[in-house]
Amino acid sequence: MKTNRVLPGFGLALGYTLVYLSLLILLPLGGMILKASDLGWSQIIDIALGERSLAAFRVTFTASLLAATVNGFFGLIVAWILVRYPFPGKRFVDALVDLPFALPTAVAGITLATIYAGNGWLGRFIEPLGFKVAYTPVGIVVALTFVTLPFVVRTLQPVIEDIEPEVEEAAATLGASRWQTFSRIVFPAIFPALLTGFALAFARAIGEFGSVIFIAGNIPLVSEIVPLLIISKLEQYDVLGATALAVVMLAISFVMLLGINGLQWWAANRHRNNEPLEVAAGKAKGGAA
């Protein structure tokens, strides 16, 4: 029996998809790799292992890891509160989580730099205590934490919503403590989503530029990130050097993408094969005994 589909057939849809992805992604990336081939792998490695490049990679990845870790902890708390507790202004707080998505990153960077500068709202109280945020690597972590928070919260929220509160109440009725309920029931259920949100936040932070340059100070070997180093090389007409760093970042991005897809595949399989939460509640009772 012939069925009328809303969308075109598989062949036509696949053709449109491949053309669109080729024009938008494959051709630009292919051109960049082709340009980098003029250097050769040995020169690309030499540029990537230069003192300034290594310092920029170290700052970028360390700050990204710290920001993703901070959001992994506090993002879990924010997501849990938004799902589990009703309170005045909940819709407003929920909308604030998406602010980094809507706000231009340059605006966010200028705002953070203004707040944490020596004469800023917070900086004037923090700096006399010997803790400087603006124009230091700490400022980079603050900016990346702001930008990547939604990735963790929005990844965790639907998973937390799937956990029925009755399961936690059953574990408490069976004698499990709050920590045992969290560690044996809640955390195993949300861990794959938490890990995915962490990976997404980390991958997003690696490529961030606009929100960082205004608060970082951009001091070579101290607070310079890789995207800014690429822009600096382009401004100095060192196109091949910038392309070499971009290829390295591209390779890292592909590795991160594969890792995220692997986490999502693992989470999906774990969800299908996971034991019912009611059984886990009984196990929590056994731990409490």
Give tens-digit pLDDT for 92-115. 999 999 998 888 888 888 899 889
pLDDT number for residue 4: 60
**Within a domain: 14:** no
In this predicted structure, what is the pLDDT of residue 192?
A: 84
**Does 43 map to a domain?**
yes
Return the structure tokens found at 65: 């890891």
> Rounded to 5 degrees, what are φ and ψ at 163?
-85, 110
Given a contact cutoff of 8 angstroms between Cβ atoms, the answer to whether 163 and 80 are in contact is no
pLDDT (0 to 100) of residue 69? 93
Query: Do residues 150 and 100 lie in contact, with contact meaning Cβ atoms separated by under 8 Å?
Result: yes
Sign of CA dihedral 227, 231, 233, 237: positive
18 within some domain: no
- Whether 257 and 204 have beta carbons less than 8 Å apart is answered as no
How far is CA 39 from each of CA 47, 234, 246, rounded to the nearest angstrom?
10, 16, 13
Query: Element (H or E) spanning 166, and its range?
Result: helix 165-173
Residues 6+ apart with CB under 8 A from 82: 90, 93, 94, 97, 153, 157
* pLDDT 10s digits, 241-262: 888 888 888 888 788 778 777 7
> 12 lies in a domain?
no
- Domain CATH code at residue 176: 1.10.3720.10
User: What is the per-residue pLDDT for 163?
Assistant: 83
**What is the extent of the structural domain holding 276?**
39-288
Which pLDDT value is given to residue 248?
A: 87
Helix residue spans in the chain (DSSP H)? 10-21, 27-36, 41-48, 51-84, 90-97, 99-102, 105-116, 123-126, 137-162, 165-173, 178-181, 187-206, 210-216, 226-235, 239-273, 277-288
Residue 45 domain-assigned (yes or no): yes
DSSP one-letter code for 127: G
Give a yes or no: residue 162 inside a domain: yes
Contact assessment for residue 145 and residue 259, using Cβ atoms and an 8 Å cutoff: no
Question: With contact defined as beta carbons under 8 Å apart, do 175 and 288 qualify?
Answer: yes
Q: How many CB atoms within 10 Å of residue 266?
A: 13
> Which tokens go with 162?
């799937």
Please state, in angstroms and rounded to a whole number, the distance separating the CA atoms of residues 281 and 67.
33
Say whether pTM exceeds 0.75: yes
Residue reference for tokens 């886990």: 280
pLDDT score of 32 = 77
Asked whether residue 201 is assigned to any structural domain, the reply reads yes
pLDDT value of position 274: 54
Show pLDDT as tens, one digit a residue, over the chain (289 residues). Answer: 455 666 666 777 778 888 888 888 778 777 777 777 777 778 888 888 888 999 999 999 999 999 999 999 999 999 999 998 888 989 999 999 999 888 888 888 889 988 998 888 888 888 888 888 888 899 999 999 999 999 999 999 999 988 887 777 777 787 777 888 888 888 888 888 888 899 889 988 988 888 898 888 888 888 889 998 988 888 888 888 888 888 888 888 788 778 777 776 776 676 566 554 545 545 555 555 4
Q: Do the domain assignments include residue 91? A: yes
Instruction: Count how many domains the chain has.
Output: 1
